[in-house]
Amino acid sequence: MSVGVLGAGAFGTALAIVLAGAGRPVTLWAREGADEMQAARENARRLPGPRFPEGLRATGDLSEAAAAGTLLLAVPMQRLRPLAERHAAALADRPLVACCKGVELGTTLGPAGVLAEVVPEAPRAVLTGPSFAADIAAGLPTALTLACAEPDLGARLQAQLSTPTLRLYRTEDVTGAELGGALKNVIAIACGAAMGAGLGASARAALMTRGFAEMNRMAQALGAAPATLAGLSGFGDLVLTCTSEGSRNYRFGMGLAESRAQGTEAAETVEGAATARAAAERARRLGVEMPITEAVVAVLDGRMALNEAMETLLARPLREE
Ligand SMILES: NC(=O)C1=CN([C@@H]2O[C@H](COP(=O)(O)OP(=O)(O)OC[C@H]3O[C@@H](n4cnc5c(N)ncnc54)[C@H](OP(=O)(O)O)[C@@H]3O)[C@@H](O)[C@H]2O)C=CC1
Ligand SMILES: O=C(CO)COP(=O)(O)O
């Protein structure tokens, strides 16, 4: 089965490389620079280094990629709706796998919810979990979650998108999988800020653990299963992103501590910034407490300095774990 990847950022390119390397014919659509990539056999701008396998073709013509049997949508979360709206007709009749992590500003929907609104007739799934694009493209072992509410389609996509180095686990809990992938980026910003401020590894462990608790509160309020949050898409991705400077969200948090990140959200893809705001809004509406997320938003919006945010978290009433 052929695969079309829409969005030639780091992640889309890495997925295209590993799938083509495993023998799937893959067409990678880039809105800019496709001819250069196709000639150089490399995405020098977004994922420099890894070479394109023979079965990978880059194109600037979306309809070529959209003709594939399965489509992976690998653009940042806040860009998913404009992309899907613009190309709704081309996306309408084949499985769409959203590969973005986040909550949409305004609607507070995840990627599956956005696709359900824009292209309701297309079967959909979400691919999420702990993986850096560079690791996937280098053929390093990686395990991800493929979430699909339709079990038969989920099983087909799991088989189609697994390779000898990219191992997919399946779940029908789409809400849990997408919230795990979205909310861990907010906690990664908090952890990066704590480490950047020199608060130490114990403080980071506390933020990860209490962050995981608030991820679970939000997810369960929306009907997700705790087991999904404990899996690759929640706990797994939280661990990766909160402990590695390979993460853009974590690095962005470190930058906040050094007062050099405010206003730089647009410089690279930092999904946790918009997601923190959207998740905090959703949590307030649901009556769910998310103190770390609220603290991240307060710092991002310039309403609190980082040390004030930490003091506010530490001054919360003592309670049972
Ligand atoms: N990088 C990683 O390690 C991982 C990323 N992800 C997720 O994948 C998603 C994408 O991230 P990533 O690939 O890293 O991001 P990048 O910043 O590397 O690339 C984003 C890509 O999206 C393209 N894009 C943005 N807006 C549009 C649009 N309206 N139409 C078409 N293309 C558009 C950009 O095009 P252009 O180049 O022309 O600007 C760029 O190629 C995020 O949700 C991220 O959380 C998930 C796991 C791992
Ligand atoms: O989602 C990721 C790892 O699973 C990538 O993390 P960043 O977006 O923070 O770089």
User: What are the structural domains, with CATH classification, of the chain?
Assistant: 3-172 (3.40.50.720), 181-315 (1.10.1040.10)
Distance CA 285, CA 306 (A): 25
Q: How far apart are the first and last CA of the chain?
A: 48
| pLDDT per residue as tens digits for the range 36-94 | 999 999 999 999 999 999 999 999 999 999 999 999 999 999 999 999 999 999 999 89
Point out the ligand 2 atom lying closest to the alpha carbon of residue 246. 10
Q: Is 269 touching ligand 1 by the criterion CB < 6 Å?
A: yes
> In whole numbers, what is the pLDDT of the chain averaged over residues?
96
Strand-pair category, 96-98 with 3-6: unpaired
Q: Percentage of the chain with pLDDT > 70? A: 98
How would residue 181 be classed by pLDDT, with cut points 50, 70 and 90? very high
pLDDT(138) > 90: yes
pLDDT at 142: 98
**Pocket of ligand 1, candidates 75, 144, 184, 265: which has the most ligand atoms within 8 Å of its Cβ, to mutate?**
75
**Pocket of ligand 2, candidates 127, 249, 251, 270: which has the most ligand atoms within 8 Å of its Cβ, to mutate?**
249
How many other CB atoms are found less than 10 A from the CB of residue 306? 21
